[in-house]
Amino acid sequence: MSREYKVGVLGASGAVGREVLNCLEDRGFPYSQVKALASARSAGTKLEFAGGEITVEEVTPDSFKDLDLAIFSAGAAASREYAPMAAKSGCPVVDNSSCWRMDERVPLVVPEVNARVLAQHKGIIANPNCSTIQMLVALKPIYDAVGIKRIVVSTYQAVSGTGQKAIEELAEQTRQIFNCRDIVREVYPHRIAFNCLPQIDSFTDNGYTKEEMKMVNETLKIFGDDSIRISATCVRVPVFYGHSEAIWIETARHIEPGAARELMSRSPGILVVDEPENLKYPMAIDAAGRDEVFVGRVRADISTDNGLTMWVVSDNLRKGAATNAVEIAELLIRDPELLKTNWTW
């Protein structure tokens, strides 16, 4: 009989945490127990899981001592506090927050791109930013085949990337507009309904936002290639689920769009939908609830030599967060060496 594992999900009551529970069930993860953890405020909440319910427990320093692994989706502050505790107690952590992504001790992993670096982990593995994940899944086969010198990306990101309150704000503002009522803003600095906000996270000294710089810095770390030049513009749009990206790349060697399309269609995690003559291309409404990265509108960039441009869409709560984390957990349990328990922090 194959082994089963005790799994903790910190932040289980949040939007990503609930999706982690869905992924564990959907993908048939071999668990014997799933412990839902959150702050004291959410303790006692009942969550649907595997045809029944589980009760959220308040997280404490002792919550991880009897677990085989944990997936964190509770924000950077909670990860900073509890991830080292979990690792010290022999429970490896896959962390969805931004806390550990650029830490030199922590591998930043997209399984289709750089699974090999998992061997370097010391009890904490970082899940990249949602927009970075889907972009690199799409670009990995092209990078391997012909190299990439430059990336320019514009993102169109769903409100679910901000969390449950943002989902509710978009829904409520839409109702307010249709009923000619005053617009109430609580999550975003401006109205999000029927609007686009060219700001995700706060601005940095170079004029880029933190979200944009995450895409830059995480791409360099995941590819392990500091020579790639990257520029990003990240926009919040009035969509509930699914991030979309317009990506321009300059390759080191020439590749025809058809060849790039073929490479991506044969690569894990990618679904090519590219029949513009039949009005078929990736859309957020089609990606919602799916684990694939959808790629379409692959064409030559007429403004530069060795240029390609494409449209990439993925469910930000699934592949952009929960699915990627569960896939990392699946890799951990396949190799007993990756579950060793002598980590120190």
Residue 269 tokens read as 């995690």
Check residue 1 and give its pLDDT: 43
CA-based nearest residue to 215, from 205, 228, 299, 323: 228
Q: How many residues does the chain have?
A: 345
Distance from chain centroid for Cα 241: 12
Q: Tally the C-alpha atoms within 13 A of residue 193's C-alpha that lie toward its C-beta.
A: 17
The pLDDT tens digits along the chain (345 residues) read: 479 999 999 999 999 999 999 999 999 999 999 999 999 999 999 999 999 999 999 999 999 999 999 999 999 999 999 999 999 999 999 999 999 999 999 999 999 999 999 999 999 999 999 999 999 999 999 999 999 999 999 999 999 999 999 999 999 999 999 999 999 999 999 999 999 999 999 999 999 999 999 999 999 999 999 999 999 999 999 999 999 999 999 999 999 999 999 999 999 999 999 999 999 999 999 999 999 999 999 999 999 999 999 999 999 999 999 999 999 999 999 998 898 877 998
* pLDDT value of residue 340: 81
Question: Given this model, what pLDDT does residue 342 score?
Answer: 77
Integer angstrom CA distances of residue 60 from 38, 78, 159 = 9, 11, 30
Work out the burial of residue 120: count CB atoms within 10 Å of its CB; fewer than 13 is exposed, 13-18 middle, 19 or more buried: exposed
Chain-centroid distance, C-alpha 150: 22
Q: Could you give the residue numbers annotated as active site?
A: 130, 243
**What is d(CA 247, CA 43) in angstroms, rounded to the nearest whole number?**
42
